[in-house]
Amino acid sequence: AEVIIVFHTHYTGDHVPSMQAKAGVGETLNEIKEVAVINNDTPMHKVGLSNQEQTNFNKMISAIEKNCKECGDFLDQLVLLSGTKGDEKYHVASYVKQFFNSEIKAARAIGDVGKTFASLYNFYYDKTTALLDKIKTPKTRAQKSKLVHDSQNYLRENEGKFKAMIDLYKKIQESKQFIIDKLDDLETFRTFALTDNGYKVTGPEGYVLHKDGDMVKLVNRLEFSYINFTLAKKWR
């Protein structure tokens, strides 16, 4: 059997807990026919922006910074309120990530913030209704129903903050896609996805931007994540 392993990161340091991730394999590999050694760094120096593109990108970043100030503390609060067990799994905070993933699975980009907020509310309602329907004990059902009711009130009372969060998500996706689209034009390796009608050409998964040891990964959510969510995992 042949096994394909992709190495794109190496680690430095003497102790596992304190090791630092660095981009690249970290050493020169000998080229032998059994191993494909591919240097696929995208030539960042060839990326250029027009004055208008630079202005538009700066506006995106300014909008992101504004939204972070408006809902940053609120996002921290959502993290603390979310969970998969006990009472936490009935709180709307536990469904925000699920909601955004469901939008990707449906190939829907975030458009109107107000409509997206309404969709989040409906998504939470449908999910918790199904959860409550599974509870057989009247007392327990009443207790959990109150948690859901309180969380619905939490949604309504914090509508402005939820909308700021949705707008932040939207702006981050737009700025990421702006960068990805620029880099895609320089990509030399093609990416393919297996469909019922054979292989089709797709955009790359995304890019890892690295400089002086720091790395940021940008994933093409609307294409790669959609494919990852929806195509059958025939390798499983």
67 belongs to a structural domain? yes
Task: Give SS3 for 149.
Answer: helix
By the 8 A CB rule, do 223 and 202 touch? yes
96 domain-assigned: yes
Which segments of the chain have a pLDDT < 70? 1-2, 26-30, 38-40, 42-44, 213, 232-236
Give the residue carrying structure tokens 């939470």: 124
Number of domains in the chain: 1
Residue-number span of the structural domain to which 163 is assigned: 51-174
Domain membership flag for residue 99: yes
**200 domain-assigned:** no
19 within a domain of the structure (yes/no): no
Residue 84, domain member (yes or no): yes
- Indicate whether 39 belongs to any domain: no
Per-residue pLDDT, 236: 47
3 state SS for 173-217:
HHHHHHHHHHHHCCCCCCEEEEECCEEEEECCCEEEEEECCEEEE
Question: What pLDDT, on the 0 to 100 scale, is given for residue 27?
Answer: 66
Q: Is residue 94 part of a domain?
A: yes
Q: What is the DSSP string of 8-67?
A: -EEEESSSGGG-EEEES-SSPPP--TTS--------GGG----HHHHHHHHHHHHHHHHH
pLDDT digits (tens, 9 = 90+) for 165-196: 999 999 999 998 888 888 887 777 777 777 77
Gap between the Cα atoms of 59 and 82, Å rounded: 32
The reported pLDDT for the residue numbered 128 is 96
| Six token digits for residue 178 | 């702006």
Exposure string of 157-180, with b = 16+ CB inside 10 Å and e = fewer, is ebeebbbbbbbbbbbbbbbbbebb
d(CA 100, CA 124): 12
